[in-house]
Structure 1
């Protein structure tokens, strides 16, 4: 990632709303292809989800910061932590349908795919059913997608597009 980053704290409480806001801001700001938009869980006395935008140049960062501040958003420099969950990143729009691991890595900024609870290296021809919802996370400077086994020897992203809220029947 580049050093051209900022954090937007809109007081959002859930990931779905944060994803929606990242997409809205990306459209409003006409973010460049090399941009990253991530979510970050902020804990403490006021738990919430902050957004970070990492841009490919200082002029783009300055313009984004000015436009966001003018729009009433709370903007601060840098990212809140190094473990952001990427929503917008180079190649994300090409991660649709079923792809091989090699295809995911070739088409996007994702550096590696891991299987939850697994330790072995994945074969490049292993198939990933994306559900059109691929949210990798930053881990030690790499963008890593965590997947889990699925039907027919395929994998699916660990994060599902429409999770069932906890205790929905209670």
Structure 2
């Protein structure tokens, strides 16, 4: 399936602000079901986080591009890289509480789950405690959630919902 994407550079410096921007844009633009909203890290002389919105219809992408530009956003066609971190994706809103890996895969656009330090994939009956913060990443055209072992034999997404900022205790 072909996707049409636009990237928005709002000069953001952190993922939390980028997540918020994606949710705000999705609500303001009343985006259709099936939208993918991702964050992308841009390195270089001006490090920042940009966001992309990918939809199935070219006319919807053109409308999104036009409306975002009219709001004063810096907008470009396409995505800046193929490894975006997905915030908005089909099924993201139902990944709540503790679910089996099989439930996660069947309820969402996530294609597979990997576990840090483990060979192979987790068993379909393995339990994942979502913490209501599931951020898979694109890898070779698949949406992949990286998880890690947790207390009680469960798994949790590798990315924590409220990370401690670097040097917070200094």
- Provide TM-score, normalisation by structure 2: 0.98
Does the 8 A contact of 2:8 with 2:51 survive in 1?
yes
Q: Over aligned residue pairs, what C-alpha RMSD do you find?
A: 0.8
Question: How many corresponding residue pairs?
Answer: 170
Give the CA deviation at 1:122: 1.2
111-120 or 32-41: bigger deviation: 111-120
Give the CA deviation at 1:135: 0.2
Matches of 2:57 and 2:119, distance apart in 1: 37
Does the 8 A contact of 1:97 with 1:132 survive in 2?
yes
1:38 match: 38
1:93 match: 93
Matches of 2:68 and 2:149, distance apart in 1: 40
Give the CA deviation at 1:166: 1.4
Show structure 1 runs of 4+ deviating over 2 A.
none
Q: In structure 1, the residue corresponding to 2:124 is in which secondary structure? A: coil
Structure 1, unpaired ranges of 5+: none
Matches of 1:119 and 1:136, distance apart in 2: 19
1:50 match: 50
Matches of 1:136 and 1:162, distance apart in 2: 16
Question: Aligned pair 1:136/2:142, yes or no?
Answer: no
Give the CA deviation at 1:2: 2.9
Matches of 1:31 and 1:134, distance apart in 2: 20
Q: In structure 1, the residue corresponding to 2:45 is in which secondary structure? A: coil
- Provide TM-score, normalisation by structure 1: 0.98
Question: Aligned pair 1:149/2:149, yes or no?
Answer: yes
